[in-house]
Homo-oligomer: A and B are copies of this chain.
Amino acid sequence: MSERRLKHWGWGYEDEQPSHADLTEAAALITGRLGFGSTEPERPVSLAEITLPAPRLSPPRALQEICRSDTYDRVLHAYGRSYRDIVRAFRGRFDHPPDVVAHPRDEDEVLAVLDWAVSAGAAVTPFGGGTSVVGGLSGPLGDRTGLVSIDLKALDRVLEVDPVSQSARIQAGATGPVLEDQLSEHGLTLRHFPQSFQFSTLGGWIATRAGGHFATVYTHIDDLVESVRALTPVGAWESRRLPGSGAGVSPDRMLLGSEGTLGVITEAWMRVRPRPTQRASAAVQFDDFATGADAVRMLSQSGLYPTNCRLIDPGEAEMTGAGDGSHALLVLGFESADHDVEPWMSRALECCSDHGGTWERRGSGGSGSGGDRNAAVGSWRDAFLRAPYLRDTLIAIGILSETFETAITWDRFEEFHQTVLERAGAAVREVCGAGSVTCRFTHVYPDGPAPYYTILAPAARGSELEQWAQIKQAASDAVIDCGGTITHHHAVGRDHRPWYDRQRPEAFAQALRAAKRAVDPSGALNPGVLIDP
């Protein structure tokens, strides 16, 4: 466990939070740029002011050393980091805090906690980084008598490295930086960089089918998994290390996306790779988002497989300081540990030119090494990394911020995008009186993009949750009505359940419910996520 204490209500560590004076300064800047929000930051309810109901569970003596029920630990494990979670935590409201937080130090202790919790009639939530943005970590317990959160962060070791196969056996509780540090000793990297990278864990990525660094081909963590080991109430679920297999239904693919409902993932063999030595990147401007989307479609179908291929609409480019709002921006990149990527980039830029794109190069062999647009890419990347921190500030200054993401085939994209913008935008204006809905592509496929929408709007302090619920309803209805998926990589959790239930095939839902009952007969594991308790 890290020595540094995490902030109890939002993103990051307690010792890296802005002062109230810093916040006031930021408030002036942000409200000036957006045209809404308060210049007087609100203060969160402090930890000392929070009173939780007494824990309903008491661990057996043998587990007391690794179990805690103090307010800080229960508060920290009560929520993920969705807008809704942070608003509630900010205001000191904790609806379903765990009764006990377990900190097992090895897999045997995970099993002991799981066995005890199940036999005690408690619900169990596997807890990685606590960065769920979909209500994945707590909710109504059904007939379970309490909640045990199993924090896996002590299981953070790279246990084995196989440099020949470029694979590594990694414990589920390792966060992005912790596992990358250990891999870098071997010159290897997983290169899975979700926005939550700093805090989220391998087990969480696998359980939620997280999306990462690669814009094409290896978009989800799914593609980097060689085998998984999980503990279920009826025994271990561990697949063989295999580069590929066709032996029936994939056992790994049933754990991927199970969101803690089938078992506690404890470790996985992951496909890693040497750190890239060759890079090329470019900032490409297009007249508008639709034209940029046409170019990206061509790129996605070219077989060039760019590492980075993020198309940002004019509004989002402006919002993040990466543009003046008059152009769409494509952040395009190739990387390799094997070969010069110049031929790849040259052809990709030809595709962009065919759609009126104009570009500035960065990195190896570029025609320009500086320029405004490189600064633009830098601005956008900085904004991407800062975003989770910024959101806490936005909440303090009365700005509602929400993101939702999806995927849709190219043939339906234009109409889909228009309708989602209209319906989400209308809800934002109706609920908040003003605000913006912007878009970028996080990942692209030959058959369609994964659009990611960001909402910023003036919040009515104290009514944020109602505002959020109305906007979420409108946006999610639009996504599902128009044929998209309720989530491309944020997961389902509890927040997306109503739309997930509309999206998934009913026969599949029956199969999944039965599969869960088979490995979790008492329904202890994360009740309400994916499947009703």
How far is B218's CA from A305's CA once the two chains are assembled, in angstroms?
13
Give the nearest-CB partner of A307 in chain B. Answer: B303
Q: Is A157 engaged at the interface, CB distance under 8 Å to the other chain?
A: no
Residues of chain A in range 395-423 having any CB-CB distance to chain B below 8 Å? 407-411
Chain B residues near A209 (CB, 8 Å)?
246
Q: Are the CB atoms of A247 and B237 closer together than 8 Å?
A: no
Contact, CB under 8 Å: A409 / B241: yes
Q: How far is the CA of A317 from the CA of B240 in the complex (A)?
A: 31
> Please, how many angstroms separate the alpha-carbon atoms of A515 and B409 in the complex?
29
User: Judging by beta carbons under 8 Å apart, are B515 and A511 in contact?
Assistant: yes
Which residues on the B side are within 8 Å of A20 (C-beta)? none
CB of A201 to closest CB in B, whole Å: 16
Contact flag A450-B500 (CB < 8 Å), given A166-B301, A217-B217, A512-B249: no
Residues of chain A from 241 to 255 with CB closer than 8 A to chain B in the complex: 241-251, 253-254
State which of B240, B302, B448 has its C-beta within 8 Å of the C-beta of A483: B240
Question: Shortest Cβ distance from A280 into chain B, in angstroms?
Answer: 13
Residues in B with CB closer than 8 Å to A510 are 234, 518-519
Query: A303 contacts B336, CB within 8 Å?
Result: yes
A244 and B445 contact, Cβ closer than 8 Å, known pairs A254-B511, A256-B249: yes
Chain A 163-184 interface 0/1 with B at a Cβ cutoff of 8 Å (1 = within): 0111100000000000000000
CB distance from A254 to the nearest CB of B (A): 6
Q: Is A447 a contact partner of B166 (Cβ separation < 8 A)?
A: yes
Cβ contacts A17-31/B at 8 Å (1 or 0 each):
000000000000000
Number of copies: 2
- Asked if A492 lies at the interface with its beta carbon under 8 angstroms from chain B, I say yes
- Would A504 and B251 count as touching, CB distance under 8 A? yes
**Chain B residue nearest in CB terms to A492:** B248
Interface status of A258 (Cβ within 8 A of chain B): yes
Say yes or no for A315: interface residue by CB 8 A criterion: no
A338 within 8 A of B: yes
A162 interface hit (Cβ, 8 Å): yes
Contact B338 A242 (CB under 8 A): no
A491 interfacial by beta-carbon distance below 8 Å: yes
- A73: which B residues are within 8 A, CB to CB? none
With a cutoff of 8 Å between Cβ atoms, the chain B residues found around residue A368 in the complex are none
Contact partner of A243 (CB less than 8 A), chosen from B241, B247, B271, B409, is B409
With an 8 A cutoff between CB atoms, is A446 at the interface? yes
**CA A162 – CA B412 in complex, angstroms?**
10
Chain B residues with CB under 8 Å of A162's CB are 409, 411
- State the CA gap A302–B305 with chains docked (Å): 13
Knowing A162-B411, A447-B166, A447-B271, say if A487 contacts B239 (CB, 8 Å).
no
A271 shortest CB reach to chain B, Å: 5
Known: A251-B505, A339-B347, A505-B239. A208 touches B246 (CB 8 A): yes
Check A440 for interface membership: any CB of B closer than 8 A: no
Contact between B503 and A240 (Cβ–Cβ < 8 Å)? yes
Shortest distance from the beta carbon of A28 to any chain B beta carbon, whole Å: 38
B490:A243 contact, CB within 8 angstroms: no
Show 21 A/B contacts (Cβ-Cβ < 8 Å), sorted by A: A164-B409, A167-B409, A219-B244, A226-B447, A232-B507, A235-B507, A243-B409, A244-B443, A244-B488, A245-B487, A246-B490, A247-B486, A247-B500, A248-B259, A249-B254, A249-B258, A251-B508, A303-B339, A305-B305, A512-B515, A514-B514
> Which 8 A-B residue pairs are closest in the complex by CB-CB distance?
A243-B448, A514-B518, A243-B445, A511-B515, A237-B507, A209-B246, A343-B343, A253-B253
Seen from chain A, the residues whose Cβ lies within 8 Å of a Cβ on chain B are 162, 164-167, 208-211, 217, 219-220, 226, 230, 232, 234-251, 253-254, 256-259, 262-263, 271, 273, 297, 301-305, 336-339, 343, 347, 407-411, 443, 445-450, 483-492, 496, 500, 503-508, 510-519, 530
- Besides A240-B483, A250-B256, 5 other A-B contacts (C-beta < 8 A): A166-B446, A167-B409, A249-B257, A249-B258, A515-B518
